[in-house]
Structure 1
Amino acid sequence: MDPESNPVVTSISCAQTNLDEGKSGKSQNSVTFDEKALPSTAELKKKAKEEKAARRARTVLQKQGSAVPAQALSAQQAQRSKAEVQKGVKAQHKRVTSIEGKGTSIRCLQRAISPIPEVPKEDKTVEFFRHLYKQRTSTIAGVSKEVHPAVLALGLQMNNYTICGSCARLVATLLAFQKVIQSYTTPPMNSLTRHLTSHVLSPQIEYLSSCRPLSISMGNAIRWLKLLISKVDPNTPDAEAKKYLCDSINVFIRERVTLADEVISKNAVEKIRDGDVIMTYAKSSLVQRVFLHAFKQGKQFQVIVVDSRPLHEGKHLAAALAKLGIDVKYCLLNGLSHNIQDVTKVFLGAHAMMSNGRLFSRIGTALVAMEANEADKPVIVLCETIKFTERVALDSIVHNEIAPADELVISGGVLEGWRNVEKLQLCNPMYDVTPAEFIQMIVTELGNVPPTSVPVLHRLENEA
């Protein structure tokens, strides 16, 4: 039998030819072999059975003495070709496996040398107060060039608590706006009434609110100033209009702050008797003024100043009173319950008086008022009507000011590095709300009133 006429030999020879072409580089794909050029497993098994049957037939013929040189030669060639094909398949498989292995190694290496993604830092924001968090502006970098230099300086002073009190910030803001108005020139084809508020005052207000949220009294004063500007006759010359605005600001400060403080201090001094032990919390410039007037009148009394971190405003009040010769006792909030027993009255300052009669003041005030109420001690609040608002406060969560938490950290203290401690959060609210039932009297420039009269006085002031 001719070897070329044998289909098994022909198929194996074709497979061998394809492998040889792949080795010599004639194949188009030099990396992976063409699997279609090789017989499938079923075909190989079928061919192997045929070869086995042929060998058995040859064995029978040999026993019978028949010489079959052609068939023997064909069988030898078939076995040789089959061995070579299997060898080539194994070699090709090893080559592909090696290439795939190298690819896997390269991917592993790339994964190893690729930068490790940074673990996201833990959010230190207290979820309950998230709506109150606001980034403060502490430098003049990136500030609009429309902001007046006087306002720039004021914003930084407010940010670092150089100017801290509600009325102090109010007066400083109006004086800064006075300088802004004095340096203002109305552009051509514009009027002072329309241009000053929207294009000049608005950037100043926005900058101040970015340094610290505006106080209630500041908001009332800014609304008054905007209303005043809107009432200026557009035909009024610039010089006359600016003089009118600056004079009105001076009158406002004198009537709503300076004279109001004098009237309040005069009324509050009448509440102090010889031998009184008066407790106050933190520092209020109005309360300090009352103590000064009472001391000048020769009244003998003792003051207990309760203070708290982080501002320690009470230290400055205690130092100022002691310098005058007033008997002063200083303690922190943790000594409140002990010292309240010796007190006869409690004088408190105010950041604002809400329309429902509640006191909005420095955080810790509510605790002092509650302790005084439990000890049956009268609580008297000293507050100008410029601090009254139509807002209603039920808690200190909806409306408040959150100061930077790092202000609570003492250098070298246990909280140093607190941002790296897992699941540790610090919150530094500035104010709290004191219920109206803890307050016996509010001393204002319009008289001594109960907390329920706050909305009435506020309406009268707005109508005036």
Structure 2
Amino acid sequence: MSMSKNSEHLVDDLVAKLKRRQLVGSSAVAQATLKLLIVVISKNNWTTSKQLLTLVKSVGQRLNLANPTELAVGNIIRRVLHIIREEFREAAGHVDSPKDGSSHQGGGHPHEGTNGLSEFAPLTTSSSMYNLLGETGSSSDDDVQYPSSLRSNIIQEIREVKDELENIYDNIKNQASLHIHSNEIIMTIGRSKTVEEFLKMAAMKRKFQVLVAESAPSYSGQEMAVELSKAGIETTVIPDSAVFAVMSRVNKVILGTHAVLANGGLVAISGTHMMAAAAKHHSIPVVVCTGLYKLSPLYPYDEDSFNVTFNPDSVLGFEEGDLIEKVTVTNPYYDYVSPELVNLFLTNQGGHPPSYLYRLIVENYDPNDRTFDL
């Protein structure tokens, strides 16, 4: 189905920003995607679940192709698709239920409750339920009369996800005092807003020291050290080459991440793998602070597909003359960190080991939405 001109313009605008990298960072991208989907769902005409799913998937395809390395786009699209499926299932359950509220007595179905509905109503075998999502059979749900409140219910659920994103930092940093203790030495790398808020909250109750690897060539670690020192935290900047040398003095490594993959692996700023491997060697616990919106159902079959390379001028400038003609320089922005190097994920829903992430994926995404095929 075609979108309204206003919606089409908004989608084109976000696609352009993603292609030009005018919008970067998982949080900013996720919130922009949610705002767009609220407009698309509320301002376009649709009457069936198949029409709405196709509409949202078409938006997801375009955004995902604009910048495949921003996995937060796909995560938000899949989260919204899951909400849509759940709301239609619930609506179809009400449509299929007896209107007189009569109950079956005596020889009723063993799984039926006192209201005459199966305990597994969302998964029942009624024809309208199977046709609900347009994935089985040849007919559609065009003949099912859904309540007029369905659109507003879907929008309300999406707004709750938006509120969740806005409160991500609060939900994570409130766990700080449980994981950071007095007189500890904490190590981190680069600048992560989530880690920054986490450490600042811990500093309100604990006195500890932070070592920040500068993360060359971006040197975002220096920016992190400035912000932490302003909050009264004793902070030391170390070169990336010194990480292994000082790791034996560290009590805990706390990392941020760009994305979390389905196997528990990380797509994080370059240098993160080196730090996590050094921590593993010295048996130092590695804690990753991240919101659930960064959790992706994708697996790292090709680790390089999640990476992006930047201008190598900051590594080897053109002023090097003859040398630059003899070498090939790559400047990757991300590292892949295997799940074996991570001990704990601190999310806005609490702490989880890498082995538990599969459960979070099942709760937040539908297996039919791994790709956005129409």
> Per the alignment, do residues 455 and 412 of structure 1 end up closer, same or farther by CA in structure 2, a change over 3 Å counting?
closer
**Distance in 1 separating the partners of 2:236 and 2:213:** 9
SS of 1:452's equivalent in the other structure is helix
Q: C-alpha distance in 2, partners of 1:245/1:157?
A: 27
Q: For residues 411 and 354 of structure 1, what CA distance do their matches in structure 2 show?
A: 29
TM-score scaled by structure 2? 0.67
Q: Which residue of 2 aligns with 1:249?
A: 158
Partner residue of 1:264?
A: 172
The structure with the largest helix share of the pair is 1
Are the aligned partners of 1:395 and 1:433 in contact in 2 as well (CA < 8 Å)?
A: no
Kindly provide the amino acid, as one letter, of the partner of residue 378 in structure 1.
P
SS in 1 for 2:288: strand
Residues 289-321 of structure 1: CA deviation (Å, up to 9, x unaligned): 211211233x21222222324544334323322
Opposite residue 204 of structure 2, the aligned amino acid is K
Q: Are the counterparts in 1 of residues 271 and 335 from structure 2 also a CA contact under 8 Å?
A: yes
1:372 matches 2:279: yes
Displacement after TM superposition at 1:359 (Å): 2.8
Q: Give the deviation of 1:380 after TM superposition.
A: 1.2
One-letter amino acid of the counterpart of residue 159, structure 2: N
Change in CA separation of 1:203 and 1:453 when aligned onto 2, cut-off 3 Å: closer
Change in Cα spacing, 1:454 to 1:158, as seen in structure 2 (3 Å) is same
Distance in 2 of aligned mates of 1:412 and 1:346? 30
User: Counterparts of 2:351 and 2:249 in 1: how far apart (Å)?
Assistant: 25
1:361 to 2:257 alignment: no
State how many pairs are aligned: 307
Give 1:155 shift.
4.4
Residue 109 of structure 2 corresponds to: none
8 A Cα contact 1:385 1:458, kept in partner: no
Residue 186 of structure 2 contacts residue 209 of structure 2 at CA under 8 Å; is this kept in 1? yes
CA distance in 1, matches of 2:31, 2:355: 28
Q: Which protein has the larger Cα radius of gyration, Structure 1 or Structure 2?
A: 1
Q: Does 1:177 align with 2:83?
A: no
Match of 2:251 in 1: 344
Quick check: 2:210–2:236 contact (8 Å CA) kept in 1? yes
Written as runs of structure 1 = structure 2, the 5 A alignment for 1:129-208 is: 148-155=8-15, 157-158=17-18, 163-182=23-42, 184-186=43-45, 191=47, 193-195=49-51, 197-198=53-54, 201=56, 204-208=59-63
CA distance in 2: counterparts of 1:388 and 1:438, whole angstroms: 17
- 1:380 is aligned with what amino acid? V
User: 1:162–1:374: structure 2 CA closer, same or farther, 3 Å change rule?
Assistant: farther
Contact 1:408 1:428 in 2 (8 A): yes
Map 1:41-440; keep pairs closer than 5 Å: 148-155=8-15, 157-158=17-18, 163-182=23-42, 184-186=43-45, 191=47, 193-195=49-51, 197-198=53-54, 201=56, 204-213=59-68, 215-229=70-84, 243-255=152-164, 257-259=165-167, 261-297=169-205, 299-393=206-300, 396-397=303-304, 399-403=305-309, 405=310, 407-410=311-314, 413-414=317-318, 424-440=327-343
TM-score normalised to structure 1 length? 0.56
Query: Structure 2: how far apart are the matches of 1:409 and 1:156?
Result: 25
Question: CA 1:371 to 1:327, structure 2 compared with 1: closer, same or farther past 3 Å?
Answer: same
Label 1:341 to 1:156 Cα distance change in 2 as closer, same or farther (>3 A): farther
| Aligned-partner Cα distance in 1 for 2:338–2:63 | 30
Pick closer, same or farther for the CA change 1:331–1:149 going to 2, 3 Å. Answer: farther
Question: For each residue in 1:151-183, what CA deviation from the matched residue of structure 2 results, as whole angstroms up to 9, or x when unmatched?
Answer: 45544554565643323321221123223444x
Q: Greater RCO between the two (CA within 8 Å, min separation 6)?
A: 2
**1:367 Cα deviation after fit:** 0.5
Aligned counterparts of 1:162 and 1:364: Cα–Cα separation in 2? 24
Structure 1 residue 365: deviation in Å?
1.0
CA pair 331-208 structure 1, distance change in 2 beyond 3 A: farther
Structure 2 residue matching 1:409: 3-state secondary structure: helix
Which of 430, 438, 443 is 2:346 aligned to?
A: 443
Q: Distance in 1 between matches of 2:61 and 2:302?
A: 27
Q: Is the CA contact 2:266–2:336 (under 8 Å) kept in the aligned structure 1? A: yes
Letter in 2 for 1:401: N
Does the residue aligned with 1:270 lie in a helix, a strand or coil? helix
Residue segments in structure 2 that go unaligned for 5+ positions in a row: 92-141, 367-374
* Change over 3 Å in CA distance of 1:440–1:325 after alignment to 2: same
Taking the aligned partners of 1:355 and 1:225, their CA distance within structure 2 comes to 18
CA contact (8 A) 2:253 2:286 kept: yes
Deviation at 1:442, TM superposition (A): 2.2
Percent identical pairs in the alignment equals 25
Which amino acid in structure 1 is aligned with residue 330 of structure 2? Answer: C
CA distance in structure 2 between the partners assigned to 1:269 and 1:161 by the alignment: 36
